[in-house]
Each structure stands twice: as C-alpha cells, then as structure tokens.
Homo-oligomer: A and B are copies of this chain.
C-alpha cells in the first residue's frame, strides 16, 4: 500500500506546517495499519518505537489503576495517540485500544525527531498540542473527582456530541463499563443515570443511538456537577 502523506486528508495540524519535501520524506517513514474495534494499538509496558497517529476511527487511552482500568481519554482522528508515552519514557506508560475500526499511522521515531529538529513550526505546534493536552487532563481530573455521576455523564455526552461526533445524534461505540471507567463511576451507576436522563426527557436512547434533546439542561447539570 503506497502512501503519499502529501495527499493525505487526515493531516494533523502540526503536519500542515511541513514542507512538500518533508511530507514526501514522511511518506517513506510511516506506515498505515488498520485496527478492528477492540484491537490493541499500543500496550502499556512494551517498548515504544513509533509515534502513533489516528487517521480515522476512534481510540481510547487507558492505564491500569490499583483497582481497575481507567480510561484516560478518548482520541478522535487527526490526533497523535501516544506522544507523551513515546517521548516521556522508553516504555509505554499507557495502552491504546481501538473503540471503532480505526486506521493508525505509525511514524518512525527517528524521523519524527528529525522533523522536530528541522522544522520549527512543526515542533512548535507539537509543543502547543502537548500543553493543551496537559491542561485538558487537569480539567478532566477535576471533573472526575468533584462532580457526581449525573454531572460526569452529562459531561461525557456533551463531549461526544460537541467534540467527537459533532452532532446531537450519535452512536455510542463505547459500552457502559468503559464509560464508567472514563468518568470513574460503576457500570450500574452509568446505566441508571443514562436511563434517568432518558425518562427526564434530556436525551433519547434507542440501543446504542443517543440523541441529545435538552442540551442546555445537560450543560446545567454538567456545570453544577449534579
């Protein structure tokens, strides 16, 4: 499968800063791999040898907690999957798993480092993204620890609708167990809250399809934490 990064429609913001020649070279140093829903993309504890980048699909980043798995965040396409784990340590500090069928681009780490060294606009953009990621993770953590389950579920629904699927109607690919691991709540609590929201007319659920009906109410619940 011949890849031409130059014509790739899934470029990251950082990659838009690359020159034609750099993109040409990148083509020779990356490899696209397809993953089925549920497949492991990066495994915590193994050596990290490539920069992984999500071209299409959806993935979850998760780490082992003392009690159970914690889903750290959901990554949508046109984003790197493992920069912190690739550059922060030789060994992957977290796992990444496909939530939907996904295409992942693996970029040779040596070439990636070369790009960082040569193209300052590129490295600058990477720094900006890392910074944003860290701030986002702080915010996520506060939400997880301070809000009650209703607030956390409202959060996650709004995040899916606003940032991931860009629609008030979407198919929840993630199951309730994982949803619980994402916001730190039990599977049962997620189920209860989701159905409560349905009964209260805030959302409509049929199977895996969710439609947000009263977004402003959800925003209210998200903001106040209950």
Question: Considering the complex of A and B, which 9 residue pairs feature the smallest CB-CB distances, nearest first?
Answer: A88-B131, A84-B131, A141-B141, A66-B225, A84-B134, A87-B131, A130-B130, A65-B142, A65-B146
A161 at the binding interface (Cβ < 8 Å): no
> A183-219, CB under 8 A of B: which get 1 and which 0?
0100000000000000000000000000000000000
Cβ–Cβ contact A66 & B137, under 8 A: no
A128 at the binding interface (Cβ < 8 Å): yes
- How far is the CB of A96 from the nearest CB of chain B, in Å? 13
- By a CB distance below 8 angstroms, the chain B residues around A224 are 66
SS of A interface (majority): helix
Q: Please tell me which stretch of A5-13, A117-125, A163-171 contacts chain B, meaning at least 4 of its Cβ atoms lie within 8 angstroms of it.
A: A117-125
Cβ–Cβ contact A128 & B88, under 8 A: yes
Cβ–Cβ contact B137 & A141, under 8 A: yes
| Chain A residues touching B, range | 35 or more
- By a CB distance below 8 angstroms, the chain B residues around A93 are 135, 138-139
Cβ–Cβ contact A138 & B72, under 8 A: yes
- By a CB distance below 8 angstroms, the chain B residues around A66 are 142-143, 146-147, 151, 223-225
